[in-house]
Copies of this chain bind each other. A is one copy, B any other.
Amino acid sequence: MDSIAKEKLRNHFQELISLSDEEFEYAASFYHQKHFKKHQFVVQEDQLEVPEYFVVSGLVKAYSTNFEGKDHILQFAMEDWWVTDYNAFYNGGKATINIDCIEECDLLYISLEDKDHICSEIHKLEHFFRVKSNKGYVALQKRILTLLNKDASGRYDEFIRLYPSLVQRIPKTILASYLGVSRETLSRLGK
C-alpha cells in the first residue's frame, strides 16, 4: 500500500475511532492495493472469492444485468466509500453483480477472513465497521423509499441533494439507470 492510500485509510478510520500507530499498521497490513483503468471490471458476475473494496480515488458503479441485457445500477462508490457484492462477500458463492470503473481507480481490498480477523483482534475496528454497516443500511432504506415513493423528478432532486459532487462525474445514461427513469426524462429534468 502506498503512502497516499495509507493516509486515506487512516483518516477514514479516524472519522469514527482512534487507533494507535501499532493498531493501524497491523490493520493496514491486511489491505492490498490495486490500480484499475477506466471501464475495467473490479468484480464480475460468477466470480468466486470476492473481497471488499475501499475507494482511495476514482469512481465505480455496481450493477446487475438482467436477462434482456439491461443494466440496473445498485450503487456508485467514490473516494472513502466501501463497495463489493456484499451477498457474495459475506455469504460466499459466486458474484451476482458486476462492478466496473467509471473513472480510473485506486482501490484497497481485503478478504472476509482478514476483515473478520482484524475486527476480532481490535474491538475499535469491529465498532467502526458496525457503525459503517448501520449507515449503509439507512442509506439503502432511504433508496427503497425513494424507489417506492417518488417519481422521476423526485428521485433526481433527492440524488442531487444527497450526492451533489457525484452528478457531474456520472454519465447521464448511467444516472438514468440508477434512478430507474428513461434517458429522455433525465435530460428534461437536468435542464
The interface of chain A, by Cβ under 8 A from chain B, is 64, 66, 72-74, 86-87, 90-91, 97, 119-120, 123, 126-127, 129-130, 133-138, 140-145, 147-149, 180
Chain B hits for A126, CB < 8 A: 123, 126-127, 130
Chain B hits for A127, CB < 8 A: 119-120, 126
Chain B hits for A119, CB < 8 A: 127, 130
B149 in contact with A147 (CB, 8 Å): no
Chain B hits for A86, CB < 8 A: 134, 137-138, 141
Give min CB distance, A17 to chain B, whole Å: 11
Contact of A136 among B91, B135, B137 (CB under 8 A): B137
Give min CB distance, A90 to chain B, whole Å: 5
**Alpha-carbon distance between A139 and B148 when the two chains are bound, in angstroms:** 16
11 contacts between A and B (CB under 8 A): A64-B149, A72-B148, A74-B148, A87-B141, A90-B135, A91-B138, A97-B145, A123-B126, A126-B130, A129-B130, A140-B140
Chain B hits for A123, CB < 8 A: 123, 126
Q: A149 with B72: in contact, given A120-B127, A133-B137 (CB under 8 Å)?
A: yes
**Alpha-carbon distance between A133 and B135 when the two chains are bound, in angstroms:** 9
Q: A142 with B64: in contact, given A119-B127, A120-B127 (CB under 8 Å)?
A: no
**Alpha-carbon distance between A97 and B141 when the two chains are bound, in angstroms:** 11
Give min CB distance, A187 to chain B, whole Å: 20
Q: A141 with B140: in contact, given A134-B133, A149-B64 (CB under 8 Å)?
A: yes
**Alpha-carbon distance between A123 and B147 when the two chains are bound, in angstroms:** 36
Contact of A144 among B134, B136, B143 (CB under 8 A): B143
